[in-house]
Structure 1
């Protein structure tokens, strides 16, 4: 199936958001239905301090009991901090995907 890159990214975002819903059909693990923990840092602090971001991201995964692993793209680790800052500065996942 061939789609344009813009359409393909929109489809992917829609699929991800459907899977990430608490009642989504594709996620059946306890982590998918567990309530999010109370925030322990402000957005401005996370966006300003990469060390705080990484600490909180690791703590988030620990609270869910999930394995924390940085994805590798093209043989290089994906900078999740930069991705977080860039996506949130553009209005969040909904704005970026549409």
Structure 2
């Protein structure tokens, strides 16, 4: 049985690349993608993925706001990442 993954990123390149990496793993399957946080919340509630990959900075609704909404409605494991973040969002050990 595969773990169902929702991939969320505003970059089509990163959505495609992350999806390719995940789909190459035998126990993982990308069930859908979202291009912003609002769409991520809607798809997370409708599709009930086992795990979500979430970009931090996106238009319409950022990843942090989306995580708050998803976790309050339907707690789901979420991996957050971003290729571009502000210094304040980095953990102290990365500064």
TM-score > 0.5 by shorter chain:
no
TM-score w.r.t. length of structure 1: 0.25
Q: Which structure ranks higher in relative contact order (CA pairs < 8 Å, sequence separation ≥ 6)?
A: 2
More helix by share: 1
TM-score w.r.t. length of structure 2: 0.25
More strand by share: 2
